Amino acid sequence: MPLPFSAPPRRRNLLSPCSGCDASVGAGSAAVMAGPPASLSGQDEGSFAYLTIKDRIPQILTKAIDTLHRHKSEFFEKHGEKGTEAEKKAISLLSKLRNELQTDKPIIPFVEKFVDTDIWNQYIEYQQSLLNENDGKPRWFYSPWLFVECYMYRRIHEAVIQSPPIDDFDVFKESKDQNFFESQESIIALCTHLQEVVTAIRDLDESQLKDEFFKLLQISLWGNKCDLSLSGGETSSQKTNIMSSLEELKPLILVNDMEHLWSLLNNCKKTRGKASITRVDIVLDNAGFELVTDLVLADFLLSSQLATEIHFYGKTIPWFVSDTTIRDFNWLIEQVKGSNHKWMSKCGADWETYIKVGRWVYHDHIFWTLPHEFCVMSQVAPDLYAELQKAHLILFKGDLNYRKLTGDRKWEFTVPFHQALRGFHPAPLCSIRTLKAEVQVGLRPGQAEQYIATEPSWLTIGKYGVFQFDGPL
Ligand SMILES: O=P(O)(O)OC[C@H]1O[C@](O)(CO)[C@@H](O)[C@@H]1O
Ligand SMILES: [Mn+2]
């Protein structure tokens, strides 16, 4: 994989600091080759980035340390003294990380050999290359929030892989599984609803099909509220039946491009030949309840023939507390299949079959757990970019994906989404995201001001959501 982040000479890069991104920010042919706006960072005291780095990330690290501590006897039972030693080592490494963070120490390179160690260390050098003499070193409260937050989760992974034989332990698995178990009622209601729709699907006319599609899209959107990193690892399961609240939640959708999604897929369905395919790619976010909402949507896309195959992308390592790994994906399908509720187990059996026959495909790629903005994907991970180009539509779930789509930069709220993507466009795409960070584009003039006045923390409490589409129909 080409590494475009060989550290350029130490100079302040005044143009786009991401080689490969479309640097022109102005509109039309008169585009001025100005760089994009600055990145969100902990430099802005009181900002959400600052508070995340100062308060929530140490809290997440402390919970990870507690989790390791609580598994001490399990490690001893499994591995004897070596297990106890390993637990101690991992805890000391995480405690060191927490101290570095809380005292704003320089960001240090990774030392443990792993598939992405080199590209991570190149990126750290790249961040260094953006600073001039008196800026000092890349560090927690100075460097881009996106970089230091991703770095923190990758350091947790390094601490674990440096502590064999517990080097495959997922410090977040307990809370991801707990989210699933605590959301059982909502999951049963959702699976029951899906089976009712699938049973009746042949009798649904186009407008009924569209209504169902919109319903399941909204459920997938609001499923994104269940995010453990926002709650600092505290439980955030889906306790209420989400389906009964869709109407009251509708005004909380700030950008609603669902019609574009319907037109695109319905046209594909009506115009494709017998043998041709319609592929929808879903870049997953959180495990637990949100993953169920995504699999229910994916099942509906196949059952309605709006799509003929679905490709999923998860994370290769534990990430942002709740993000889905292949283990979470397989575990959840097993759990759903093994349920003693008949419609839930029917869903699990169907989902397992979709995987077996290749109508659902799961992809792993290290790019999703790198710190890079998506506008450099075609350079940093051309294989992944080429894979995404095969899709007719890509759905990006969640807030972190939105931050990477827009580069986590201080865009004006009214900047068009297409412009903020800075050339990232493998295929028609849609962000399905609840707002948990201070970046939002594509709003109407005056729209942001309306929310700032009524709800000052509208950007970060996960209450509002978007369906933000980019690309030809
Ligand atoms: O799971 P999601 O929707 O990507 O949310 C993760 C987001 O939550 C936070 O951890 C808290 O704001 C952000 O740093 C991150 O973007
Ligand atoms: Mn997440």
CB 228 within 8 A of CB 355: no
**Which residues lie with the beta carbon below 6 Å from any ligand 1 atom?**
52, 149, 224, 227, 229-230, 285-286, 320, 322, 398-400, 403, 436-437
d(CA 100, CA 58): 10
Residue 161 C-alpha to ligand 1 middle, in angstroms?
24
Q: What pLDDT score does 472 carry?
A: 77
The pLDDT tens digits for 187-226 are 999 999 999 999 999 999 999 999 999 999 999 999 998 6
d(CA 290, CA 284): 9
Burial of 54 (0-12, 13-18, 19+ CB in 10 A): middle
Check residues 41 and 19 and name the one with the higher pLDDT.
41
d(CA 226, CA 31): 40
Q: Which atom of ligand 1 is nearest to the CA of 48?
A: 12
Structure tokens belonging to residue 59: 């809290």
Structure tokens belonging to residue 391: 């899709």
Sheet holding 393-397, edge to edge: 253-256, 465-470, 429-434, 393-397, 279-283, 309-313, 360-363
Residue 113 C-alpha to ligand 2 middle, in angstroms?
26
Q: Which atom of ligand 1 is nearest to the CA of 227?
A: 1
Q: What pLDDT score does 279 carry?
A: 98
d(CA 373, CA 370): 9
Name which residue sits closest to atom 15 of ligand 1, judged by CA: 400
Architecture field, domain 173-470: 3-Layer(aba) Sandwich (3.40)
HSE value, Cβ hemisphere, 13 Å, CA-based, for 473: 10
- Mean of the pLDDT values across residues 299-315? 98
Candidate from 286, 399, 409 with most ligand 1 atoms within 8 A of CB, to mutate: 399
Residue extents of the structural domains in the chain: 1-170, 173-470
Q: How confident is the model at residue 29 (pLDDT cuts 50, 70, 90)?
A: very low
Q: What pLDDT score does 225 carry?
A: 86
What residue type is 311 in one-letter code? H
Candidate from 320, 404, 409 with most ligand 1 atoms within 8 A of CB, to mutate: 320
CA distances from 148 to 40, 49, 143, 179 (A): 11, 10, 7, 26
Is 90 exceeded by the pLDDT of residue 147? yes
CB 215 within 8 A of CB 243: yes
Q: Which atom of ligand 1 is nearest to the CA of 229?
A: 10
Q: How confident is the model at residue 133 (pLDDT cuts 50, 70, 90)?
A: confident
Is 70 exceeded by the pLDDT of residue 234? no
HSE value, Cβ hemisphere, 13 Å, CA-based, for 266: 15
Is 90 exceeded by the pLDDT of residue 26? no
Residues whose Cβ atom is located within 5 A of ion ligand 2 = 285-286, 320, 323, 398
Q: What pLDDT score does 33 carry?
A: 67
Is 90 exceeded by the pLDDT of residue 342? yes
Residue 165 C-alpha to ligand 1 middle, in angstroms?
30
Residue 84 C-alpha to ligand 2 middle, in angstroms?
31
CA distances from 328 to 3, 30, 160, 184, 362 (A): 30, 48, 18, 16, 12
Class of 1-170 in CATH: mainly alpha
- Mean of the pLDDT values across residues 399-415? 98
Residue 13 C-alpha to ligand 2 middle, in angstroms?
31
HSE value, Cβ hemisphere, 13 Å, CA-based, for 73: 1
pTM given for the model: 0.94
Candidate from 55, 56, 221, 230 with most ligand 1 atoms within 8 A of CB, to mutate: 230
